[in-house]
Amino acid sequence: MVRSAAAVVVLAVLGVVGAGGLGVANGPGAGASSPVVEAAGMPVFTSPLDGPPVVVRPFDGPPQPWAPGHRGVDLAARPGQAVRSPGPGVVTFAGTVVDRGVVTVTHADGLRSSLEPVAPSVGPGDRVLPGQVVGTVQDVPGHCAPGTCLHWGLRRGDAYLDPMVWVLGPGPVVLLPEH
């Protein structure tokens, strides 16, 4: 009994079965991304790129707001690749900053995802679903040169967060035997 109850809890958290208190958001814009699951009040996002995310430069939060650091993650990408909203929300910015396109999605919980370099296909005020295409990766020189990457920043207020902490990883549910 305990074993089967634990399996149901694992499956519920992963969004395989429904459970009270867990919100699972699936929609027509979900594409190839995983569903977004909210457990214990903590949203879980999908990767903004199709397939498992490949981190080429991880988050390196500064010890102080003014100190140097890498305030997001860089994901391996190719020019023209579809960029998807990591979660539901409203586009609050879609335009050029210096020499590259940026799309910012504000999520209902106050988190803000910023994606760059992106040629936007959405505009400010557009509501987006998890996995909905918001643009394509631009072919511009960037800090991943000579390669191309997508920078994904995540903020709550003025605090930068590691987006990968909020990503629900793909993979099968595996139940281990009792020992």
pLDDT digits (tens, 9 = 90+) for 100-139: 999 999 998 789 999 999 999 999 999 999 999 999 999 9
The DSSP 8-state label assigned to residue 62 in this structure reads -
The DSSP 8-state label assigned to residue 4 in this structure reads H
pLDDT digits (tens, 9 = 90+) for 57-71: 998 888 888 888 888
**159, 140 contact by CB (below 8 A):** no
Domain containing 126 — which CATH number? Answer: 2.70.70.10
The pTM of the full predicted model, rounded to 2 decimals, is 0.71
Domain ranges, residue 135:
48-164
Per the structure, the count of domains in the chain is 1
Rounded Cα gap, residues 44 and 164, in angstroms: 9
The DSSP 8-state label assigned to residue 60 in this structure reads B
